[in-house]
Amino acid sequence: MIMIRRLTQADLPLLRQVWKENWGDEFVVAHGVVYRPDPLDGFIALDGQEWVGEITFIFSQDGCEIVTLDSLREGQGLGTKLINSVIAEARKQNCKRVFLITTNDNLNALGFYQKRGFEMVKINRGAVNESRKIKPGIPLIGMNNIPLRYELELEIVL
Protein backbone atom coordinates (compact mmCIF):
# COMPACT_ATOMS: atom_id res chain seq x y z
CA MET A 1 0.00 0.00 0.00
CA ILE A 2 1.24 3.50 -0.82
CA MET A 3 1.77 5.89 2.05
CA ILE A 4 2.45 9.62 1.77
CA ARG A 5 4.41 11.26 4.54
CA ARG A 6 6.22 14.52 5.20
CA LEU A 7 9.84 14.92 4.13
CA THR A 8 12.26 14.98 7.08
CA GLN A 9 15.91 15.95 7.49
CA ALA A 10 16.77 12.23 7.53
CA ASP A 11 15.41 11.95 3.97
CA LEU A 12 17.77 14.51 2.50
CA PRO A 13 20.57 12.12 1.38
CA LEU A 14 18.06 9.99 -0.53
CA LEU A 15 16.36 13.07 -1.95
CA ARG A 16 19.71 14.33 -3.23
CA GLN A 17 20.27 10.96 -4.87
CA VAL A 18 16.85 11.01 -6.56
CA TRP A 19 17.52 14.54 -7.85
CA LYS A 20 20.92 13.48 -9.13
CA GLU A 21 19.43 10.56 -11.00
CA ASN A 22 16.42 12.45 -12.38
CA TRP A 23 17.65 16.04 -12.69
CA GLY A 24 21.40 15.53 -13.21
CA ASP A 25 22.64 17.07 -9.95
CA GLU A 26 21.93 17.67 -6.28
CA PHE A 27 20.36 21.03 -7.11
CA VAL A 28 17.80 22.28 -9.57
CA VAL A 29 17.47 25.70 -11.19
CA ALA A 30 14.20 27.48 -11.94
CA HIS A 31 13.63 31.14 -12.87
CA GLY A 32 17.29 31.81 -12.09
CA VAL A 33 17.06 30.44 -8.55
CA VAL A 34 19.16 27.52 -7.36
CA TYR A 35 17.18 25.16 -5.14
CA ARG A 36 18.88 22.63 -2.88
CA PRO A 37 16.90 20.10 -0.86
CA ASP A 38 17.80 21.47 2.59
CA PRO A 39 15.36 24.38 3.03
CA LEU A 40 12.48 22.76 1.16
CA ASP A 41 9.33 21.24 2.50
CA GLY A 42 8.06 18.08 0.86
CA PHE A 43 6.24 14.78 0.82
CA ILE A 44 7.53 11.30 0.10
CA ALA A 45 5.49 8.45 -1.36
CA LEU A 46 6.47 5.10 0.11
CA ASP A 47 5.63 1.51 -0.70
CA GLY A 48 6.71 -0.09 2.55
CA GLN A 49 10.24 1.21 3.06
CA GLU A 50 10.79 1.90 -0.63
CA TRP A 51 10.64 5.46 -2.02
CA VAL A 52 8.31 5.58 -4.97
CA GLY A 53 7.91 9.35 -5.31
CA GLU A 54 8.81 12.76 -3.99
CA ILE A 55 7.52 16.28 -4.20
CA THR A 56 9.21 19.37 -2.81
CA PHE A 57 7.79 22.84 -2.38
CA ILE A 58 8.42 26.18 -0.78
CA PHE A 59 6.22 29.08 0.27
CA SER A 60 7.17 32.60 -0.76
CA GLN A 61 5.39 35.87 -1.41
CA ASP A 62 4.49 34.47 -4.86
CA GLY A 63 2.60 31.53 -3.36
CA CYS A 64 3.43 27.88 -2.94
CA GLU A 65 5.98 26.75 -5.50
CA ILE A 66 6.37 23.10 -6.38
CA VAL A 67 10.11 22.74 -6.93
CA THR A 68 10.40 19.07 -7.91
CA LEU A 69 8.00 16.20 -8.50
CA ASP A 70 9.25 12.73 -9.31
CA SER A 71 7.13 9.65 -9.60
CA LEU A 72 9.29 6.54 -9.59
CA ARG A 73 6.26 4.39 -10.57
CA GLU A 74 4.37 6.25 -13.20
CA GLY A 75 0.72 5.72 -14.07
CA GLN A 76 -0.36 4.46 -10.67
CA GLY A 77 -1.71 7.66 -9.20
CA LEU A 78 1.39 8.68 -7.24
CA GLY A 79 1.98 12.01 -8.98
CA THR A 80 -1.67 12.94 -8.42
CA LYS A 81 -1.50 12.01 -4.74
CA LEU A 82 1.67 14.07 -4.28
CA ILE A 83 0.35 17.24 -5.91
CA ASN A 84 -2.92 16.86 -4.00
CA SER A 85 -0.89 16.70 -0.76
CA VAL A 86 0.79 20.00 -1.64
CA ILE A 87 -2.51 21.63 -2.61
CA ALA A 88 -4.02 20.50 0.70
CA GLU A 89 -1.04 21.92 2.57
CA ALA A 90 -1.29 25.22 0.67
CA ARG A 91 -4.99 25.46 1.55
CA LYS A 92 -4.16 24.72 5.17
CA GLN A 93 -1.66 27.59 5.14
CA ASN A 94 -4.29 29.83 3.56
CA CYS A 95 -2.15 30.18 0.44
CA LYS A 96 -4.14 31.12 -2.65
CA ARG A 97 -1.84 29.92 -5.38
CA VAL A 98 0.25 26.83 -6.17
CA PHE A 99 2.65 27.21 -9.08
CA LEU A 100 5.58 25.51 -10.71
CA ILE A 101 8.08 25.82 -13.50
CA THR A 102 8.47 23.17 -16.14
CA THR A 103 10.16 23.23 -19.52
CA ASN A 104 8.86 23.19 -23.08
CA ASP A 105 10.11 19.66 -23.77
CA ASN A 106 8.25 18.04 -20.86
CA LEU A 107 5.04 17.26 -22.71
CA ASN A 108 4.07 14.66 -20.16
CA ALA A 109 4.25 17.11 -17.26
CA LEU A 110 2.47 19.83 -19.27
CA GLY A 111 -0.41 17.43 -19.91
CA PHE A 112 -0.38 16.04 -16.39
CA TYR A 113 -0.67 19.42 -14.70
CA GLN A 114 -3.24 20.85 -17.10
CA LYS A 115 -5.49 17.84 -16.59
CA ARG A 116 -5.32 18.61 -12.88
CA GLY A 117 -6.46 22.20 -13.16
CA PHE A 118 -3.14 24.02 -13.62
CA GLU A 119 -2.97 26.72 -16.28
CA MET A 120 0.00 28.12 -18.18
CA VAL A 121 0.50 31.69 -17.08
CA LYS A 122 3.99 32.62 -18.22
CA ILE A 123 6.63 31.70 -20.75
CA ASN A 124 10.26 32.69 -20.37
CA ARG A 125 12.00 32.03 -23.65
CA GLY A 126 15.56 32.69 -22.52
CA ALA A 127 15.33 30.94 -19.17
CA VAL A 128 16.93 27.60 -19.93
CA ASN A 129 19.98 29.27 -21.52
CA GLU A 130 20.36 31.23 -18.29
CA SER A 131 19.97 28.04 -16.23
CA ARG A 132 22.69 26.35 -18.31
CA LYS A 133 25.15 29.02 -17.18
CA ILE A 134 24.57 27.79 -13.61
CA LYS A 135 24.09 24.12 -14.49
CA PRO A 136 26.00 23.31 -17.70
CA GLY A 137 24.77 19.71 -17.66
CA ILE A 138 21.27 20.73 -18.79
CA PRO A 139 21.04 19.10 -22.21
CA LEU A 140 20.37 21.03 -25.41
CA ILE A 141 17.89 18.40 -26.51
CA GLY A 142 15.40 17.50 -23.82
CA MET A 143 12.57 15.02 -23.42
CA ASN A 144 10.69 13.82 -26.51
CA ASN A 145 13.72 14.87 -28.59
CA ILE A 146 12.62 18.51 -28.33
CA PRO A 147 15.13 21.40 -28.08
CA LEU A 148 15.12 22.40 -24.42
CA ARG A 149 14.65 26.17 -24.42
CA TYR A 150 11.81 27.69 -22.47
CA GLU A 151 10.52 27.73 -18.96
CA LEU A 152 6.76 27.65 -18.57
CA GLU A 153 5.02 28.67 -15.39
CA LEU A 154 1.81 26.88 -14.49
CA GLU A 155 -0.49 27.77 -11.63
CA ILE A 156 -3.63 26.72 -9.90
CA VAL A 157 -5.55 29.35 -7.99
CA LEU A 158 -7.11 27.98 -4.81
- Residues interacting with ligand COA, by CB under 6 A? 69-71, 74-80, 100, 102, 106, 108-109, 111-112, 115
Nearer to ligand COA, 88 or 94 (CB): 88
CB of 79 to ligand COA, least distance (A): 2
Distances from the Cα of 139 to the Cαs of 53, 100, 103, in angstroms? Answer: 24, 20, 12
Task: Indicate the burial class of 49 (C-beta count within 10 angstroms; 0-12, 13-18, 19 or more).
Answer: exposed
Nearer to ligand COA, 9 or 63 (CB): 63
Task: Indicate the burial class of 54 (C-beta count within 10 angstroms; 0-12, 13-18, 19 or more).
Answer: buried
CB of 141 to ligand COA, least distance (A): 16
CB of 129 to ligand COA, least distance (A): 19
- The span from the first CA to the last CA of the chain, in angstroms, equals 29
The three-class DSSP label of residue 148 is: coil
CB of 139 to ligand COA, least distance (A): 14
CB of 67 to ligand COA, least distance (A): 9
- Shortest Cβ contact with ligand COA: which residue? 79
Nearer to ligand COA, 85 or 102 (CB): 102
Output phi, psi for 42, to 5 deg. Answer: 180, 175
Nearer to ligand COA, 89 or 102 (CB): 102
- Taking the CA of residue 60 as centre, how many other CA atoms within 13 Å lie in the half-sphere pointing to its CB? 11
Nearer to ligand COA, 76 or 124 (CB): 76
